[in-house]
Each structure stands twice: as C-alpha cells, then as structure tokens.
Amino acid sequence: MSNPKQAQETGLRRTFAIISHPDAGKTTITEKMLLFGNAIQLAGSVKSKRDDRHATSDWMKMEQERGISVTTSVMQFPYGGRMVNLLDTPGHEDFSEDTYRTLTAVDSALMVIDGAKGVEDRTIKLMEVCRLRTTPILTFVNKMDRDIRDPIEVMDEVETVLNIQCAPMTWPIGMGRQFKGVYHLYNDVIHLYTQGQGNRIPEDKRIEGLDSPEVDEVLGEDLAEELRMEVELVRGASHSFDLEAYRRGELTPVYFGTAMGNFGVREMLDGFVEYAPPPQARETDVREVPAEDERFTGFVFKIQANMDPNHRDRIAFLRVCSGKYQKNMKMRHVRINKDVKIADALTFMASDRAHVEEAWPGDIIGLHNHGTIQIGDTFTQGEDMRFTGIPHFAPELFKRVRLKDPLKMKALQKGLQQLSEEGATQVFMPLDNNDLILGAVGTLQFDVVAHRLKEEYKVDCMYEGVNVNTARWIYCDDPKMLEEFKRKASTNLAIDGGGYLTYIAPTRVNLQMTQERWPDIRFRETREH
C-alpha cells in the first residue's frame, strides 16, 4: 500500500546520528553540515556554546548541555536533493542510555574519528549498539590538518578493533602543515585544501584526473609521483566500496578531512546522501512495517522534561516510521489504548521556523506530553502493535534516596516517576521495604536528578549507599515458578519505574549463584520498552 507522494517523500529522507568519542569533532562537523545545508549562515553559531561552557560552573554546564541538546536535538536540512535529519546525541558519557535509544531511531550513522587518536572507547561502545540493528556506518577521519597517524594504520585499527571492513572513498594528500587536500578514488578528482575557510562553504578547487599534468604543477613532481604510487597501493591493499556490504553494516566507506577547516566534509556529505539508506522497515510485535506503508506509525525514543522552565512542558520525540503525520490527525496511543488528536506537534526544520504541517517517514516530531507518554510508546492509526528493540539498560550504580523533609514524599515520587519516564534515572522499589533506590549508568546522573528534583519539584533529597551491585530484569514463562521465585528471592526483588520485576543483586557472585539456582528464569541485562 503506497501512493506516489508517500514513496517520493520517504525516498528523500536520510535520518542519521553521529557516533564518536568526546572531542573527536562531532560538534564541529555538525556545524559544517548545517552550513552546507544552509541551515546556518556562518559557522560559529553552534560552536559558541563551548566558550560559554568553559566559563560556567559544572552545574550550569550540565544545564546548558541539556539546553543545547534540546534546541539541537533534531536538525533537519536539505542537501543534494535529499532531506537530511540529524539526531543529536548527548556528548557526556553518563547520558549514554539516551544515545543508545537515539540510535534506534536512525537509519544510519556517521562515525567521526580523531585521526591522531584512532578508535577510542566510546566509539567502540556505540559501534556495538549500531551492530544490534546492523546500522550502516559511514566514517570520517578528522583533524587531517594535524599530524595524525598514518591513514593506513588508522583504517587497520578500525578494521581490527571495530570488526568492519574499510573502503577508502577519498585519500588524504599529506597531513598537518603539509595537508594539501584529498583525492577522490571513485571520481578521479583531487580536491585542494585551502586553510582558513572553516567558517563558510569553501570554494571547491579541483583537479580532474590523477594523471593530469596539473597535478605535477600544483603539488610538485615528487609529491605528485608519491601520491600516484600511494593511491595504487591503497587501491590494491584495501577493500573497494560495496553498497550492499555497507548497507548490511559489514563495510564502512571512509572519508578524510578536517571539520575545523571545513574540508573533506562536502565529499563526505555527497557520499552520504548518495549511499545512506532511506527510511527502513521496522519490526513490531505483530509485523514488519515498511516505511512506504500509507498508515501512520511511529515510536517515542526520547522524552525531554521541562524544556521551558516557565511552562513545565515535556516533549516526546517520535520517529515517524510509516505513513504521514498531518496536523490535527487522530492517532492511537497503543500502550494506553486511547485515540488522541494531535494539533500541535513540533517539527524541526533547522532552516525554516514556520510550522510544518506534515511529516514523513524518517522525520521526527515532538509531541507535548502530559505524563501519559513513555519512552518506547507506539502510535498508530488504530492498529494494535508495538515497535520493538528500544532498549533500557541495566544500571551499574545504585543509591538510596532519603528525603530531607519527610512530608515531601508525594512530590518526590512524582518527580522520580517523571524523571524515570524520561530516562534520566531508573527507580527501583523493593518488594520487602519502602526504600526508593535509584539506578544509573553514569554517576553524574545522580547529581542531575538531585538538582532537577530540587529545581523542578522543590524536593530536597540526599543519597545513601545501598548494597546493590547490579540489576537484571526477570522473565519467566511459567507463572508457578515465577511465584516461587518471588517468594524465595523477595529480599532481592524490586519493581522498577515501569512496573517490571527486577532482581537487584548485592554482588555479582550472588547474581551468578541465583542464576545457577534458577536456570529457567531469564535474567536480562536490557529491558525492551
């Protein structure tokens, strides 16, 4: 079921996120892409937040980061005849859960690597997440204007550490002060680098053909000869680009450049819009939903509370998976089985502030949330089904919450419920006592939660250590066995914020022994929403 307009709009969309280690250049390259998409006029507008950040306290920094990731959560811009949606992921490691979930809402990813540092931990982790859904990855090796490592060595590292084949698309000519440009291995064009053009769209100075005498004139005969030999070597020793292998997540096309110098980015973007997949079909518990399906469907991958402190609003970010969003349309909110009319969804055209009345597969819309929407929720045009694969990760750090004023219990519960809905923390309520235990993946999350409880819910709380080492979600098909397990293991069982049964283990050894004792009970490290 598809109509031509639906197929056309869907075919135009390219929805992706950037995966990288902090400082590799994600912010910088985002800004240059917006420049190419005419979404901003002068580079520097995104970047200036960084300077602000340095000047402020840690607290403010966090708040500001939150602000930034809100205003730039979704950036939509046209490029090369396509409509590109770039979903931002929070930079700080402690918010990685949010990043993981954002990766479930994209069709491909751009991996930015600092050429001097090579593959770093966070990139490895994010890559593992991309693997779960075989997300195609395009690679940009950044900072060629510095003395980086040998490009062949960098590609080798990507291949061995990340276990993905590399197909160089462009090849750098020199590096650091001697960086002259890139050679496009498939178009047979040399793009020459000029310093100091980072703030605008640089002129594309090109030489057609590696064998052109112009190459010798511009680069000098020695360098030209060296380049020709190197290119021959690289062609022989590396993988060739294979669209299918890229789409299967087995091979990554690699581009070189400098985000700061806004060079090599254009070639990468050209490759991106040409090869990156359009909106893909997505799995639900009932059937696979192709993007071309005419009936509207989508899922919520992120909730952001209190974006505007004066209005206390909460926005749910929904990825459109099929059909079309149209202002005033009626949608079924599947989990609560309710039909809602959506009149005021937000759309995110970075270049055009005017209200957009429709959205297509691959686009993100923001729904005003009055506490009924949770991460992972599915919206349809009446069909009863749920999108699967939006993960919730087992926390590694735990604290018990203590109220300074015991009369504020209600406000505390409300705050924790909303913050856990948003994914800012996870809450566990033991079956055996009235404790409230918070779980986090990174320690900074606790500070954020305390700060936000105070600012947004007027609740002062403290944390205490608690004897919990790790958590696992419990699944069992046999109700009788589950009951028995609940009875016997109740001291270590809790209900989480979403109402799911969780085993909170005091030690790894305890977890292991319990698992051995109950072989038919599944102890899951992730919970699907």
Which residues would be at the binding site for ligand G4P (CB under 6 A)?
20, 22-28, 47, 50, 91, 142-143, 145-146, 258-261
CB 292 within 8 A of CB 322: yes
156 annotated binding-site participant: no
302 annotated binding-site participant: no
Residues 6 or more apart whose Cβ sits within 8 Å of residue 409: 403
145 annotated binding-site participant: yes
Compare residues 25 and 172 and give the one whose CB is closer to ligand G4P. 25
Candidates 193, 30, 31, 19; CA nearest to 110 is 19
Rounded to a whole number of angstroms, the minimum distance from the CB of residue 56 to ligand G4P is 15
Compare residues 25 and 151 and give the one whose CB is closer to ligand G4P. 25
The pairing of beta strand 501-505 with beta strand 493-496: antiparallel
Rounded to a whole number of angstroms, the minimum distance from the CB of residue 258 to ligand G4P is 3
Rounded to a whole number of angstroms, the minimum distance from the CB of residue 378 to ligand G4P is 32
The Cβ-side half-sphere exposure at 107, using a 13 Å CA radius, reads: 28
26 annotated binding-site participant: yes
Candidates 290, 141, 171; CA nearest to 231 is 171
Compare residues 168 and 198 and give the one whose CB is closer to ligand G4P. 198
Annotate 210-255 with DSSP letters as a single string. TT-HHHHHHH-HHHHHHHHHHHHHHHHHSPPP-HHHHHTTSEEEEE
22 annotated binding-site participant: yes
Q: What's the 3-state SS for 462-476?
A: EEECCCCCEEEEEEC
Compare residues 68 and 429 and give the one whose CB is closer to ligand G4P. 68
Compare residues 258 and 280 and give the one whose CB is closer to ligand G4P. 258
Rounded to a whole number of angstroms, the minimum distance from the CB of residue 261 to ligand G4P is 6
Residues 6 or more apart whose Cβ sits within 8 Å of residue 431: 486, 490, 493, 494, 495
In angstroms, the Cα distances linking 411 to 14, 304, 434, 460 are 42, 19, 16, 10
Rounded to a whole number of angstroms, the minimum distance from the CB of residue 30 to ligand G4P is 8
90 annotated binding-site participant: yes
Q: Is the dihedral of CA 285, 290, 295, 300 positive or negative?
A: positive
Compare residues 47 and 486 and give the one whose CB is closer to ligand G4P. 47
Compare residues 145 and 363 and give the one whose CB is closer to ligand G4P. 145
144 annotated binding-site participant: yes
125 annotated binding-site participant: no
Rounded to a whole number of angstroms, the minimum distance from the CB of residue 198 to ligand G4P is 8
Rounded to a whole number of angstroms, the minimum distance from the CB of residue 244 to ligand G4P is 30
Annotate 328-381 with DSSP letters as a single string. TEEEEEGGGTEEEEES--B--BSS--SPP-EE-TT-EEEEE-SS---TT-EEES
341 annotated binding-site participant: no
Mark the binding-site residues for GTP, compressed into ranges: 20-27, 88-92, 142-145
Mark the binding-site residues, compressed into ranges: 20-27, 88-92, 142-145
